[in-house]
């Protein structure tokens, strides 16, 4: 049941664990402060397979079939990059996408052997590192091709690159109708070879498909330009999670999915496949006290008891990713019931009102993100309260919160980071 608790997703060392019984299982939680994020490797695998099933497969073995390219940048959206890569590889993933060269290097050092595509900018001087670790880079200008050519000093050939095309995001990438200088440099390149072509969608979660359709039209023009210049575009990938979920036309190509793998549809109202949140955030009640009528609580006395109030203190705060903006409006689950967050959220702790939960005691589990039998709170719920998106909520769970990887198959593994 247990994979492993890390001290931090930034720290590959492990901490000693303590075994705690739950009704269904034995889960190891870290010793010390009892706050942890539980990452469900089975849910991750199921989400991966559900997304993979959406891709249009060709029966012909001569046509390159599209695949899911899991986006595991930013510590796999807060879930822990290396364990997530291992779990996805177990589920069948053959490639990963990261944001920066450093993330690819960490994956290689952890023994990940699958293809790794770096989606973002490669800074001048990082090419040698990228080549040493066999990372596939994105190119968007002749200079990026030249830099790679000259970094390949040991006579390496066939260095794969993917062209990044800007079709409307307006950030990185070669402009879809100004491809020729880049294509020219690729035609002349001796060591660098074109292995893929991609673009990024800006608005595929919107109900109005017009801008996405225009992005697809521009991308197809860019693909034509590549073919007309006698180059093979290689693996084509365009969709992010919303592109794959909401735009059938994009299922003919590989899809770089992030948020949907972690269990969230970019539009919480719709999804063609069932997705389950992968991460739960949990803690244990550290202290209980009674506030008499009129007694204040926490910084700036944001809460004052209007009745005799039973308060539980939980050992997590905004330094763990529980936003201070949830002060007075958040709620958590204790003993399958709701308990309101009262007073200001502090750096290391929050307080909840358990007046109506007389059986609650020190050491009881509180679910901050996740589900019990009758209650459920997700990163999408927080996002609504905080007027943000689940991406930011998940990425905001701090490195100091230990991640525990759980597999129902009862396997114990010692993978970290």
Ligand X SMILES: Cc1ncc(COP(=O)(O)O)c(C=O)c1O
Residue 298 within binding range of ligand X, rule CB under 6 A:
no
Rounded to a whole number of angstroms, the minimum distance from the CB of residue 243 to ligand X is 8
- Residues in Cβ contact with 150 at an 8 Å cutoff, skipping those fewer than 6 apart: none
Q: Which of 19, 77, 264, 299 is catalytic?
A: 299
Q: Which of 4, 19, 48, 73 is catalytic?
A: 73
Q: Among the candidate windows 22-30, 43-51, 259-267, 366-374, which touches ligand X by CB under 6 A?
A: 259-267
Rounded to a whole number of angstroms, the minimum distance from the CB of residue 224 to ligand X is 22
Looking at beta carbons only, is 260 or 344 nearer to ligand X?
A: 260
Residue 258 within binding range of ligand X, rule CB under 6 A:
yes
Binding to ligand X (CB under 6 A): which residues in 200-229? 200
Looking at beta carbons only, is 71 or 152 nearer to ligand X?
A: 71
Looking at beta carbons only, is 119 or 314 nearer to ligand X?
A: 119
Q: How far is CA 375 from CA 332, 369, 409, in A?
A: 9, 10, 25
Answer for which of 6, 7, 136, 241 binds ligand X (CB under 6 A) is: 241
Catalytic residue status for 391: no
Q: Among the candidate windows 110-118, 206-214, 253-261, 324-332, which touches ligand X by CB under 6 A?
A: 253-261
Rg value, the chain, Cα: 24
Q: Among the candidate windows 210-218, 255-263, 317-325, 359-367, which touches ligand X by CB under 6 A?
A: 255-263
Per-residue x/- marks for ligand X, 16-55, CB under 6 A? ----------------------------------------
The residue whose Cβ lies closest to ligand X is: 258
Residue 259 within binding range of ligand X, rule CB under 6 A:
yes
Residue 173 within binding range of ligand X, rule CB under 6 A:
no
Residue 394 within binding range of ligand X, rule CB under 6 A:
no
Phi and psi, residue 282, nearest 5°: -135, 160
Q: Among the candidate windows 258-266, 294-302, 323-331, 345-353, which touches ligand X by CB under 6 A?
A: 258-266
Residue 266 within binding range of ligand X, rule CB under 6 A:
yes
Looking at beta carbons only, is 200 or 417 nearer to ligand X?
A: 200
Answer for which of 197, 254, 257, 327 binds ligand X (CB under 6 A) is: 257
Looking at beta carbons only, is 53 or 411 nearer to ligand X?
A: 53
Looking at beta carbons only, is 241 or 378 nearer to ligand X?
A: 241
Bridge partners, residue 201, by sequence: none
Number of residues this chain uses to bind ligand X (CB under 6 A): 11
- The residue written with tokens 């053959």 in the block is 94
Residue 75 within binding range of ligand X, rule CB under 6 A:
no
183 within 8 A of 224, measured Cβ to Cβ = no
Which tokens hold the place of 159? 């260095």
Phi and psi, residue 136, nearest 5°: -95, 125
Per-residue x/- marks for ligand X, 97-136, CB under 6 A? ----------------------x-----------------
Q: Among the candidate windows 59-67, 149-157, 252-260, 337-345, which touches ligand X by CB under 6 A?
A: 252-260
Q: Among the candidate windows 34-42, 257-265, 301-309, 361-369, which touches ligand X by CB under 6 A?
A: 257-265
Give the 3-state secondary structure of the chain: CEEEEEEECCEEEECCEEEEECCCCEEEEECCCCEEEEEEHHHHHHHHHHHHCCCCCCCCCCCCCCCEEEECHHHHHHCCHHHHHHHHHHHCCCEEEECCHHHHHHHHHCCCCCEEEECCCCCCCCHHHHHHCCCEEEECCHHHHHHHHHHCCCCCCCEEEEEEEECCCCCCCEECCCCHHHHHHHHHCCCEEEEEEEECCCCCCCCCCHHHHHHHHHHHHHHHHHHHCCCCCCEEEEECHHHHHHCHHHHHCEEEECCCCCCCCCCCCCCCCCCCCCEEEEEECCEEEEECCCCEECHHHCEECCCCEEEEEECCCHHHCCCHHHCCCCEEEECCEEEEEECCCCCCCEEEECCCCCCCCCCCEEEEEEECCCCEECHHHHHHHHCCCHHHHHHCCCCCCCEEEECCCCCCCCCCC
Answer for which of 9, 39, 44, 71 binds ligand X (CB under 6 A) is: 71
Site for ligand X, rule CB under 6 A: 71, 119, 200, 240-241, 256-260, 266
Just list the catalytic residues: 73, 299
């Amino acid at each position: 049941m247990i994979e492993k608790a890390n001290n931090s997703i930034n720290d590959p060392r492990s901490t000693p664990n303590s075994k705690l019984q739950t009704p269904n299982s034995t889960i190891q939680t870290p010793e010390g402060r009892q706050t942890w994020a539980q990452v469900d490797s089975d849910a991750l695998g199921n989400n991966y397979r559900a997304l993979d099933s959406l891709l249009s497969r060709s029966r012909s073995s001569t046509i390159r079939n599209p695949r899911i390219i899991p986006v595991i940048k930013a510590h796999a959206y807060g879930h822990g990059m290396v364990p997530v890569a291992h779990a996805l590889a177990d589920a069948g993933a053959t490639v990963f996408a990261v944001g920066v060269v450093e993330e690819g290097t960490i994956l290689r050092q952890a023994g990940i052997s699958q293809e790794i595509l770096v989606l973002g900018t490669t800074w001048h001087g990082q090419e040698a590192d990228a080549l040493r670790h066999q990372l596939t880079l994105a190119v968007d200008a002749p200079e990026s091709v030249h830099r790679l050519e000259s970094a390949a000093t040991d006579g390496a050939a066939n260095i794969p690159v993917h062209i990044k095309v800007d079709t409307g995001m307006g950030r990185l990438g070669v402009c879809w109708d100004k491809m020729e200088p880049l294509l020219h440099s690729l035609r002349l390149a001796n060591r660098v070879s074109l292995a893929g072509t991609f673009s990024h969608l800006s608005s595929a979660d919107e109900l109005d498909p017009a801008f996405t359709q225009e992005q697809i039209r521009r991308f197809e023009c860019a693909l034509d330009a590549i073919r007309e210049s006698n180059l093979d575009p290689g693996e084509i990938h365009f969709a992010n999670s919303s592109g794959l979920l909401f735009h059938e036309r994009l299922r003919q190509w590989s899809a770089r999915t992030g948020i949907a793998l972690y269990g969230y549809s970019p539009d919480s109202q719709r999804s063609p496949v069932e997705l389950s949140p992968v991460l739960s955030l949990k803690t244990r009640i550290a202290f209980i006290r009674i506030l008499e009528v009129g007694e204040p609580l926490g910084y700036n006395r944001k809460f004052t008891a209007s009745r005799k109030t039973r308060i539980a203190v939980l050992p997590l705060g905004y330094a763990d990713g529980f936003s201070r903006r949830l002060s007075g409006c958040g709620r958590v689950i204790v003993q399958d019931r709701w308990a309101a967050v009262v007073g200001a959220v502090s750096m290391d702790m929050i307080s909840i009102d358990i007046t109506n939960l007389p059986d609650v005691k020190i050491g009881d589990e509180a679910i901050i993100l996740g589900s019990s039998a009758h209650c459920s709170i997700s990163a999408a719920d927080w996002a609504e309260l905080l007027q943000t998106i689940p991406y930011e909520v998940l990425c905001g769970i701090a490195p100091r919160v230990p991640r525990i990887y759980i597999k129902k198959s009862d396997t114990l593994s010692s993978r970290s980071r």
